[in-house]
Amino acid sequence: MGISGLLPRILPSAGRENYDLRALSDGLISANANDDNDDSIGDDEEEGGEGREEPSPRRKKRRRLPRPSWSSPSWTRRKVRIAVDVSGWIARAAHGHGGLLMDERHLSYRGRAELRDERMRRRRLDGGNDVNGDVVDDERESRQRLEYISACTSTVLRRIEFLIDDCGSSVLLVLDGATPPCKRDVVRARSDRRVDAAEERDGMAAEVNGGTVDEAVRTEAEVLRRISASNRAGTGRDHELRRDMVGALLGVCRERRWPYVVAPYEADGQLAYLAGAGTVDIVVTEDSDLIALGVPTLIYKMGGWNGSSDANRQLGDDRRLLGTMLRRSDLGSSRGIDLRDFTDGMLTTMFVAAGCDYCESLMGIGVVTARNVVKRAFHGCESDGTEVYRRPYPGVPVLRVILDELFRSCHKSARVQVLPLDDPEKEGVRSAYERAFLAALAMFRHPLVYDPISRSHVVANDVCIDGPPADGARSFPPSSLFLRDERILMEYGPYRDLVTRKDALYRVIGAPLAPNLARDVAEGLVDPRQLHEKDTGGLDVPVAAAHSEGDMMAAMLENYPNDDEDVGVKSGEYTSGSSRLQLSTQESSRADTLGDTQGSIRSSSGMISSLSPDLLASPSPKKRS
C-alpha cells in the first residue's frame, strides 16, 4: 500500500464522497471506437473552465468532433468498463471473516482453549486413541477452512455482482501475481516482523497452556492483546489460504464467464496499464499507489470498507453502494496537500520519496517534505511562492537534485549517515538508497504487465533501446506526456541506464515470460509464485477454462483503440504449431532467467539490509527487543 496518511489528505477535498456507483449504469458516450475516450465519467456536462489546474502546461490537440447527434452512428453508448483490484478486497474480506476460521492460528486464545478442551474430551471418549481425534480435528478444520474461503469469496462476489448488475458495467477482475524482484527484500523484512509476532503469540499460548493461571483470571486487556497478536501473525500472509481463495474466485469467474487477469507481478501496474490503454475506464481499488500511476478515474472505499468517516457507508439492504471517486484531473483541488501542476511523473517521484512498497522513505521524510522537494526540483517554486517554471539548478539532473535534497531534508539520525555529500565514507549508504529509489521509480513507471491484446508480457511505457520488445510483443505506446516526464527523469544517467536497458530493467521489474506461459499465468492456470518449481509446458494445459478468455475479453475489448491491426495475427502465431517447439525452448531458458534474476536480486538485496535501521523509516526498528 502506498503512503499512509495521503488518502485522508486528498479524498475529502479532491475526491467525491458518497458517489452512487449506480450512476455508472448510464454508460459512456464515445464518439467512435478509435476516438480517444476522453469522455467524462460522472458528469454529463463537460466541466467548463478547462480545468485551471490542468497538469499539462502544453496544449492538447483539440480536434473538432462532430456535433453529438444521438442518431448519428458515429456516437455510441456503451457500458462503463471497470477494473477491480480484487487483491485488496480479498485481504479485507479475509480480515472481516477471520472469526470463522477456527484453527489455532486465527482464533483468540479462547477459541484455542475450546479446541483443546474438545480434543481432550474426544481423546477421553476414544480411550486415549488420539489418532482418531486428530482425524476429526483435521476434518473439522478443513470444513471450517472451506467455510471461511466461501465466506470471503462470496463477500467479494457480492460486490462484483453489484458492479455488474446494479451499475450495468463490464467488470474486469485483476489479481496480484508474483512478488516483483525489487520488492523481495521489503517483503522479507515484513515477514520477519510477522515471524516475531507469531513467536510472541506462541509464547503467550504456551503460557496459557502450561501456566497454572486459569482463563477466568485473565483480564480483558490481556485477551485483547492476544487476539491482536494472533491477528498480526495470522491471516496476513497465509499463502495457501490466499491461493485457495484466489482459486475459488477464479473458479467462479470461469463459471460465470467473467473476464479476469492475473497480473504477472503487482496488480497496480496492470491496472494502470489497462486504464492507460483505454481497456478500462475506471479502477476500483483501495491502494493509493494507483494515484501515482496516473489512472484517470479511481474509486476508493467502495461500500465504506476502509472508512474512517462514515462516508460511503450506506450499505443497507437497499442494494446501494457508494464510493469515493477520485479523478486525476481533480487532484489539484486537494486541500490537504497542494498538488497543483503536478504531472504524473512528479506524483510518482513524490510517492517514491515519501516511501512506498519498494523503497522505504528516509527517516523524517513524509508526504509534505517529499512534495516540496519534488516541486522545487521540477518547477523551482515553493508551495506558496509565485509560480516560476524554471529549474533551480540548470544543468543538474532533476533526479540528482531530488536525491540530494532528500538527504539534506531528512531526520538528523539519518542525515548524519549521508551527509556531507562529498564524504566518500557515506557514499555506500547514499547509493544504496539511490538504487532502491530508482528501482521503485522504475517499478511505478515501467511495470511488467500482461497485454491482453497481444496476449503477452510487455513492459509498460517501454523506452528500452536495446532491441525490439520481447518476442515482438508490443506494448501500448507511452503517451507524449509520459515521455515528457521520462525525458526529464532520464537526464539522470543511472535512471536512464535502468529503464533503457532490458537486462537492467528486468532485474528490477522482473522478466517477461514466454507468451504461452504468460497467458497461462494471466488466466490463472499457473501460479506465478511457483513458476520456478513448475516446469511443465504450459502450452497444452488441458483445463476447461482455457477458452474462457476469448469471448469475455473480446467483449471487454471490443472498442479498444487498436492502432495496429496485425496483433490478432501475431497472437495467432503464438499458438501455431510451427512455433511451438521454439516456444518451449524459450520457456525453459526463461525459467533459467527467472532463477538468475532472483539470485542476483538476492545478492543485491543485501544492500538494502545493510542500511542502518536508523536510516530507514521502518515502522518500528526498535521492536527487536
Site for DNA, rule CB under 7 A: 1, 4-5, 7-8, 95-99, 155, 228, 231-232, 236, 303, 306-310, 313, 315, 354, 361, 363-370, 411-412, 617, 619-622
Instruction: State which amino acid sits at residue 602.
Output: R
* Rounded Cα–Cα distance for residues 498 and 496 (Å): 5
Question: Given the complex with DNA, which of 315 and 541 has the nearer CB atom?
Answer: 315
Q: How far is the CB of 183 from DNA (least distance, A)?
A: 14
The reply to whether omega before 394 is within 30° of 0 (cis) is no
Quote the least distance from Cβ 100 to DNA, whole Å: 8
Nearer to DNA, 51 or 619 (CB): 619
Give, as one character, the DSSP assignment of residue 368: H
Q: Which is nearer to DNA, 369 or 597 (CB)?
A: 369
| Cell numbers standing for residue 239 | 499463502
Sequence-distant (≥ 6) Cβ neighbours of residue 290 within 8 angstroms: 85, 268, 271, 272, 283, 298
**Cα(516)–Cα(318) distance, integer angstroms:** 45
Biggest distance spanned by C-alpha atoms of the chain? 87
Residue number, 4 or 74, with CB nearest to DNA:
4
Q: Which is closer to DNA, CB of 305 or CB of 574?
A: 305
Query: Which sign does the torsion angle of CA 506, 507, 513, 519 carry?
Result: negative
Shortest CA distance to 616 belongs to which of 418, 471, 319? 418
Give 216-220 contacts, CB < 8 A, sequence gap 24+.
218/109
**Shortest distance (Å) from residue 607 CB to DNA:** 21
Q: Give the Cα separation of 36 and 459 in Å (integer).
A: 22
Query: Please, what is the minimum distance in Å from the beta carbon of residue 137 to DNA?
Result: 24
Nearer to DNA, 311 or 488 (CB): 311
CB of 231 to DNA, least distance (A): 6
Q: How far is the CB of 525 from DNA (least distance, A)?
A: 29
Nearer to DNA, 300 or 476 (CB): 300
Using the minimum distance from each CB to DNA, give the nearer residue, 365 or 499. Answer: 365
- Cell numbers found for residue 286: 483501495
Shortest Å, Cβ 189 to DNA? 12
How far apart are alpha carbons 298 and 291 in whole angstroms? 8
Alpha carbons 246 and 86: distance in angstroms, whole number: 9
CB of 417 to DNA, least distance (A): 13
Nearer to DNA, 236 or 392 (CB): 236
From the CB of 225, what's the least distance to DNA, in Å?
10
- d(Cα 579, Cα 429) in Å, to the nearest integer? 48
Burial code (b: 16+ CB inside 10 Å, e: under 16) for 169-203 equals bbbbbbbbbbbbbbbbbbeebbeebeeebbebbee
